[in-house]
Chains A and B, each alone.
Chain A
Amino acid sequence: MLGILSLLQEHGAAADVQKAASSLANNNWGFDQNDIYRLIAVPLLPLVGYIIQLFFGKKLPRQGDWLLISFMAAGLGIAVYEFAKCLGAWSPDFQVQSRNMGLSWAWFGSTPGAPGFIAGVLYDNLSAAMLVVVTLVSTLVHLFSSGYMHGDRRYNIFFANISLFSFAMLGLVLSDNLVFFFIFWELMGLCSYLLIGHFYHKDSARKASLKAFMTTRIGDVCLLIGLCILWSKFGTLQFTELYKQVELLVAQNHEWPGWLTAAGILVFLGSVGKSAQFPLHVWLPDAMEGPTPVSAMIHAATMVAAGVYLVGRSFPFLTPDARIVVSIVGSFTGIFAATIGICANDIKKVLAYSTISQLGFMIAGIGVGGVGAGLFHMITHACFKACLFLGSGSVIHAVHTQDMREMGGLRRKLPITYLTMLVSTLAISGVPLFAGFYSKDAILAHALARAQTEHIWYYYLPIIFLATASCITAFYMFRLVHMTFHGQPVVQDKYDHAHESGWAMSVPLIILGSLAIFCGYHFHGLIPNPVNTEGWFLELWRDHRPFEAALGGHELEHREHYEHLVHGDAHGNAMILSLCAAGLGIGLSFVFYYFKILKAASFAKALGPIYTAVVNKYYFDELYNKTAIAGSHLVAKVFSIFDRYVIDGIVNFVGGAMRAVSMGSAAFDRTVVDGLVNFAGFGTQAAGSVTRMLQTGRIQQYLTFSVFALVVVAALLILR
């Protein structure tokens, strides 16, 4: 390993010729090889934890949870340290690649002198922020699980699995090329399968984990095809290289090639699967069968964010056509899932639909051009959604039910949980001074600016959908808070037995709750500035300009108009819009659920069939069951029949033929060969019996023969 590294240090220097021209490459922002080693240690720590836990987990005291928590905390420490260094630079150009320090790993296609596929680490603002977010959420979830999963039969395996998952996500965030990205992507799908199916004695959990895996698999296949197209056309899958190549391609041809649109959409379909966008959203609500810490980690903060991360990283090679697809799918998902969330009664299902909806927000934000906004929302969402999920876990732990219709008035019994969940709900609703406001506001601003720039009817869809979805989000999230914490307890028995959770579960809630407030603030030094509505992340992320400047003329005007609007009018208008939406949503929720002025039930009856459709999630599961699953079963049946009759028929026929041939051979053997042998024997016997007649033991016969011989000899002598 070290030999390869040192070899590549020389190659790294030689191959850097093309990068030497770019000033970015030579400036390592004060990072050196040790930093890269530290960064690599961040995903490797949970991996080591996983391996140790697999083999020795049961024998360690407390089944090893402290070990894994401390490993993740160490990873968090390193991530924060490196992030601090990154923030010290405070530049959108911040980018550290391990190749520039000669630390890359040559994989397939390498010969001495011509390294083939090289992998390495990419560390820029996004990776830095994501690293901190993922390690933080992971550490807190580990800590939370030590309380929540206490007494579980497979406690040690659970910890091992979430550590493995952390390894995969961290590796994904740090990889500088799409191949490693894809490897970790798939690994996360596996971990999701393992974790959702943790309670494998439950049939519903088993089905749900398989459903999650299969649905994301469909997306993964599309992603792989997209990667193949990119590889074949560009010859590289490294992010920075790809961006350069796309820029060159666009500058040469002055247009966006159709196959690039196809590749972009295929890559996006991978995100659709992983981030549960319409139409591959069906697995996420069912994935709530997994334990709540799993939901917090995987389906709120990290794995589903990987899809958004992919869209963000792939933005430079998304053509305008691909981008409009992305934004429409994202925004439609936002509103689609929000409408289902209104009617859900299971606390975790509400949060699941909320996640789908918010992911739609992020993806739509990236699609309309606000890459920084979408990614920023991903970071803030991780904080408050994880807090919400962990809070719901705390609630479930207290009242032993997931149905909100059985809860009520819990704020007196679970004060910490109540406060943190309230804070997070305010954040997700986009209330000013809370983290979600800054990021959501940015997305809406970008969407509005795009609509005002393009003037084609379908560019108006994202902003309409997103604004409506914000309103609905505020409504159903506050509905959750009202039904769970406010009002009077519905089931007195459960209310009486409820108690606040231990420190292991409350501390993560407090940390995440406070982050839900402070995450979005702009910082000057260490002093948060809540009034500056430009999120800090947006400053740090230079939207990889999708090279419209290279196309010149008309598109360039577009671009400038768009930028102008984003920072000017559209920003103000969007802020007003988002405030109105949030206010309307929160107000309506109070009307329905707190003051109970209007009855939700009568509304439901009035809407009749629409309500039934929404409650049944628009029958998508049933649709997929009838079509895709039934189709797969049919195909499997066809192949099975083919296998049983044709293949087996051939095999049996060949067997029969062999038997016939062998029977013939046996007959031949029996008659001819044995006949020959027998005949030889018979011949010998016959000869013997003939010759036996010479030896009779009778003297006179011997004498006869000798006389006869004498006569012959005499005759010969005489006749000579």
Chain B
Amino acid sequence: MFACGIVCTIARRNVIYVLMGIELILNAANLNLVAFSRFNGNLDGQMFAIFSIILAAAEAAVALAIVLNVFGLFDSIRPDDPDLLKE
């Protein structure tokens, strides 16, 4: 799942799909945390996973805000277009 998320982030031509990819990565990490919590027999992993979900949600909001502003500036949803920092 993590690899899918990476591929999605890197290789999609639409910033929304990039955000989706980020969500996938985060969720893959959550899944891993819960799995290891069950494996180790304590609840540390599950606690950490709850925090991670909250963070993911907040981060998604912020990310969408950034994307909106970038769209306002560049009028494009392709991540390749804001390339002012090149060379």
B84 at interface (Cβ–Cβ under 8 A)? yes
- Where chain B touches its partner, the secondary structure class is loop
A699 within 8 A of B: yes
B18 at the interface (CB under 8 A from A): yes
Q: How far is the CB of A37 from chain B (nearest CB, A)?
A: 100
Task: Give B1-36 as 1s and 0s: 1 = Cβ < 8 Å from A's Cβ atoms.
Answer: 000001001110000001000000000000000000
Q: With a CB–CB cut-off of 8 A, which chain B residues contact A704?
A: 10
Which residues of chain B (71-87) have a CB below 8 Å from chain A? 79-80, 82-87
Q: Which of A692, A696, A697, A700 interacts with B10 by CB under 8 Å?
A: A700
Interface of A is mostly: helix
Q: CB-CB < 8 A to B9: which residues of A?
A: 700, 703
The answer to whether A695 touches B85 (Cβ under 8 A) is yes
- Contact: B10 with A703, CB < 8 Å? yes
Contact digits for A666-700, partner B, Cβ 8 Å, 1 yes 0 no: 00000000000000000000000000100111111
Contact B79 A697, beta carbon cutoff 8 Å: no
| Min CB–CB distance B40 → chain A (angstroms) | 21
**CA A598 to CA B9, docked complex, whole Å:** 152
Assess the A698–B87 pair: CB atoms within 8 A.
no
Contact flag A695-B80 (CB < 8 Å), given A700-B10, A707-B6: no
Q: Are B79 and A700 in contact (CB under 8 A)?
A: yes
Contact B82 A697 (CB under 8 A): yes
Determine if A696 and B86 form an interchain contact, defined as CB atoms under 8 angstroms apart: yes
Measured in the bound complex, the distance between the Cα atoms of B86 and A448 in whole Å is: 128
> CA A696 – CA B6 in complex, angstroms?
20
* Smallest beta-carbon distance A78→chain B, Å: 105
CA distance in complex: A349, B74 (Å): 121
Partner of B18, one of A695, A696, A700: A700
In the complex the two chains form, what is the Cα distance from A695 to B80 in whole Å?
A: 12
Cβ of A692: which chain B residues have Cβ within 8 Å of it? 86-87
Closest B residue, CB atoms, query A688: B87
State in angstroms the CA–CA spacing of A371 and B84 once bound together: 121
Partner of B86, one of A698, A700, A703: A698
Which chain B residues border A703 with CB–CB below 8 Å? Answer: 9-10
B10 touches A698 (CB 8 A): no
B11 touches A700 (CB 8 A): yes
Chain A contact residue count (CB 8 A cutoff): 10
Q: How far is the CA of A696 from the CA of B84 in the complex (A)?
A: 9
Task: Tell me the bound Cα distance from A697 to B87 in angstroms.
Answer: 7
Shortest B44–chain A CB gap in Å is 23
Do the beta carbons of A697 and B18 come within 8 Å of each other?
no
CB atoms of A700 and B80 under 8 A apart: yes
Chain B min CB distance to A716 (Å) = 19
Task: With CB as the reference atom, state the residue of chain B lying closest to A692.
Answer: B87
**Contact between chains at A698 and B11 (CB < 8 Å):** no
- Shortest CB-to-CB span from A177 to chain B, Å, is 96
Question: Separation in Å of the B60 CB from the closest CB of chain A?
Answer: 17
Check if B6 sits within 8 Å of A695, measured CB to CB: no
- Chain A residues with CB below 8 A from B18, complex form: 700
Q: How far is the CA of A700 from the CA of B82 in the complex (A)?
A: 11
Contact B84 A697 (CB under 8 A): yes
**Nearest opposing residue in chain B for A707, CB measure:** B6
Q: Collect the chain B residues with CB atoms within 8 Å of residue A698's CB.
A: 79-80, 83, 86
In angstroms, Cα B86 to Cα A697, docked, is 4
B85 touches A697 (CB 8 A): yes
| Distance between Cα atoms of A703 and B8 in the complex (Å) | 11
**Alpha-carbon distance between A696 and B80 when the two chains are bound, in angstroms:** 9
Q: Are A695 and B86 in contact (CB under 8 A)?
A: yes
A695 contacts which chain B residues (CB < 8 A)? 85-87
* Identity of the chain B residue whose Cβ is nearest the Cβ of A695 in the assembled complex: B87
Q: Is A699 a contact of B79 with CB atoms below 8 Å?
A: yes
- Interchain CA distance A692-B86 in the complex, whole Å: 8
Residues on B with C-beta less than 8 A from A696 are: 83, 86
Docked pose: A699 CA to B81 CA in angstroms: 9
Separation in Å of the B49 CB from the closest CB of chain A? 22
Q: What's the minimum C-beta distance from B4 to chain A, rounded to whole angstroms?
A: 13
CB distance from B53 to the nearest CB of A (A): 23
> Which residue of A has the minimal Cβ distance to B81?
A698
A707/B10 in contact, CB under 8 A: yes
**Complex alpha-carbon distance, A696 and B9, angstroms:** 17
Select from chain A the residue with minimum beta-carbon distance to B84.
A697
A700 to chain B, nearest CB (A): 5
Roughly how many angstroms separate A698 CA and B86 CA in the complex, as a whole number?
7
On chain A, the residues within 8 Å of B11 by CB distance are 700
Q: Which of A696, A697, A704 has the most CB of B within 10 A?
A: A697
Q: Look across to chain A and name the residue whose beta carbon is closest to the beta carbon of B9.
A: A703
Complexed CA–CA distance, A703 and B6 (Å): 9
Closest residue of chain A to B13, judged by CB? A700
Residues of B within 8 A of A699 (CB): 79, 82
Q: Mark A212-234, 1 if CB is under 8 A from B, else 0.
A: 00000000000000000000000
A707 partner residues in chain B, CB cutoff 8 A: 6, 10
The complex places the Cα of A703 from the Cα of B82 at a distance, in Å, of 15
> Distance (Å) between the CB of B47 and the closest chain A CB?
26
In angstroms, Cα B83 to Cα A556, docked, is 132
Q: How far is the CA of A699 from the CA of B63 in the complex (A)?
A: 14
Per the bound structure, the CA–CA distance linking A698 and B15 in Å amounts to: 12
A700 vs B79: C-alpha distance when bound (angstroms): 7
A704 to B83, CA, bound (A): 16
B32: min CB distance to chain A, Å: 14
What CA separation (Å) do A697 and B84 show in the bound complex?
A: 6
Tell me how far the C-beta of A34 lies from the nearest C-beta in chain B, rounded to whole angstroms.
105
- Closest chain B CB from A710 CB (angstroms): 9
Q: Can you name 24 A-B pairs with beta carbons within 8 Å?
A: A692-B86, A692-B87, A695-B85, A695-B86, A695-B87, A696-B83, A696-B86, A697-B82, A697-B83, A697-B84, A697-B85, A697-B86, A697-B87, A698-B79, A698-B83, A699-B82, A700-B9, A700-B10, A700-B11, A700-B18, A700-B79, A700-B80, A707-B6, A707-B10
Binding site for A on B (CB under 8 A): 6, 9-11, 18, 79-80, 82-87
Binding site for B on A (CB under 8 A): 692, 695-700, 703-704, 707
Interface contacts beyond A697-B84, A700-B10, A700-B11: sample of 10 additional A-B pairs, CB < 8 Å, sorted by A: A695-B87, A697-B82, A697-B86, A698-B80, A698-B86, A699-B79, A700-B9, A700-B79, A700-B80, A707-B10
Q: Which 9 A-B pairs have the closest CB atoms?
A: A697-B83, A697-B86, A697-B85, A692-B87, A698-B80, A696-B86, A699-B79, A695-B87, A704-B10
